């Protein structure tokens, strides 16, 4: 069996997501399994080249995982011809400049979402990549979650009949940083640094809705900053200028209505941190990160509203679990493998910069809808 190695410049791996999901659970995990399997039976391993601003942090990660290449000089890493792929998991505000440099260097590009802070910049990245002829992709990990893969199985099998509505609940309580350390970095709560839950999560909801249910035709959103003051990593109080919760209504093609709440100021009273309930004429389902429950039309109970009597029905008992049927791998790793196949043998990869730009567009329109207090139509691509 033939095995070759390609260099992957990884910018932003000192951050939580870049380190855990992309370096450890994707790139290094791919190498541990012997590389990415290609259609001709050969395999491709990935040689990570760590890039960042903090030499000490890079050196620690490199030593921990026996990685020989790390640098604070992005230009030098991009100049190496063996490095054929560039990955970016930096803060959003730093992404566009670095990605444009990688495009100019002729590297294939894979980035975290959102691709940019504005539609103008996101479209510029897509145009630049197309003009240079480099392959490009955006992380859209939710599509590879076991729960949503099971939900898609129901959709593809015609289980729902006509889909009527989608209800999404995402979020958890992010501590303010004073009496308990915050679980998210402080820049997430500063608009001037590219923070905000709309810019963070609406691109996610866009590709979920677009891929599972249909094109988004309009948005009505309310973005708010519930907690105006937080404490940063150095124990200093700062003004939270970015939205920490957003409440959105989306009209999709086919008449489907989606309602999705996103919040870092909510305490969880559900089975998973994100859940989507889909209701159709023939059945309903609730999908989370890993599990998916469903109820068929024939098994639907007939509740009667009576506030004078306690509810005796155990409504959840009437739902069934969608079986695993297959072994689900880490969603980030699965998408990495798909992008490597796209680079090495031109396998299909629909999650490109153009799709990323549509996600940024939805975020931008959502913020505009909130500011203007009105429903806004989403232009056709």
Is the pLDDT at 106 greater than 80? The verdict is yes
Would you say residue 381 has pLDDT above 80?
no
380 pLDDT tier (thresholds 50, 70, 90): confident
- Mean pLDDT within 68-83: 96
pLDDT computed for residue 296 by the predictor: 97
What domains does the chain contain, in order, with CATH numbers?
3-141+331-351 (3.40.50.720), 142-328+361-376 (3.30.360.10)
Q: For the segment 324-364, what is each residue's pLDDT rounded down to a tens digit?
A: 988 899 999 999 999 999 999 999 999 999 999 999 999 99
- Structural contact between residues 126 and 264, judged by C-beta atoms closer than 8 angstroms: no
Q: Burial level of 54, CB count in 10 A (0-12/13-18/19+)?
A: exposed
Q: Which residue intervals of 271-377 are DSSP H helices?
A: 331-345, 353-372
Under 8 Å between Cβ of 164 and 280 = yes
**Would you state the torsion angle of the CA atoms of residues 152, 156, 161, 163, taken in this order, to the nearest 10 degrees?**
40
Q: Peptide bond preceding 248: is omega within 30 degrees of 0, i.e. cis?
A: no
pLDDT digits (tens, 9 = 90+) for 18-32: 999 999 999 999 999
Q: Distance (Å, rounded) from C-alpha 230 to C-alpha 236? A: 8
Structure tokens at 86: 């560039």
pLDDT of residue 313: 80
């Amino acid at each position: 069996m033939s095995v070759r190695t390609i260099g992957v410049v990884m910018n932003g791996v000192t951050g939580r997501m870049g380190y855990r999901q992309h370096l450890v659970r994707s790139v290094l995990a791919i190498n541990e399994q012997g590389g990415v399997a290609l259609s001709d039976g050969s395999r491709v391993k990935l040689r990570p080249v760590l890039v960042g601003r903090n030499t000490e942090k890079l050196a620690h990660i490199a030593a921990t995982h026996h990685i020989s290449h790390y640098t604070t000089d992005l230009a030098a890493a991009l100049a190496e011809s063996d490095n054929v792929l560039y990955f970016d998991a930096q803060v959003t505000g730093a992404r566009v400049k670095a990605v444009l440099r990688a495009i100019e260097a002729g590297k294939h590009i894979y980035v975290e979402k959102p691709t940019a802070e504005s539609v103008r910049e996101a479209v510029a990245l897509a145009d630049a990549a197309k003009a240079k002829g480099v392959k490009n992709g955006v992380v859209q990990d939710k599509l590879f979650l076991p729960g949503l893969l099971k939900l898609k199985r129901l959709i593809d099998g015609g289980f729902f009949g006509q889909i009527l509505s989608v209800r999404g609940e995402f979020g958890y309580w992010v501590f303010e940083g004073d009496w308990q350390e915050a679980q998210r970095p402080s820049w997430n709560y500063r608009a001037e640094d590219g923070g905000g839950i709309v810019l963070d999560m609406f691109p996610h909801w866009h590709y979920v809705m677009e891929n599972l249910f249909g094109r988004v035709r309009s948005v009505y959103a309310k973005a708010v900053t519930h907690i105006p003051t937080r404490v940063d990593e150095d124990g200093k109080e700062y003004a939270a200028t970015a939205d920490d919760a957003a409440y959105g209504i989306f009209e999709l093609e086919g008449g489907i209505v989606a309602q999705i709440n996103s919040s870092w100021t909510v305490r969880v009273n559900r089975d998973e941190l994100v859940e989507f309930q889909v209701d159709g004429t023939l059945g309903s389902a609730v999908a989370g990160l890993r599990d998916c429950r469903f109820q068929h039309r024939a098994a639907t109970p007939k509740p009667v509203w009576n506030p004078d009597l306690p509810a005796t029905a155990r409504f959840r008992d009437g739902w069934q679990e969608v079986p695993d049927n297959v072994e689900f791998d880490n969603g980030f790793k699965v998408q990495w493998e798909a992008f490597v196949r796209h680079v090495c043998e031109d396998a299909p990869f629909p999650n490109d910069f153009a799709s990323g730009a549509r996600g940024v567009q939805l975020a931008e329109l959502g913020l505009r809808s909130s500011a203007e207090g009105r429903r806004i139509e989403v232009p056709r691509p």
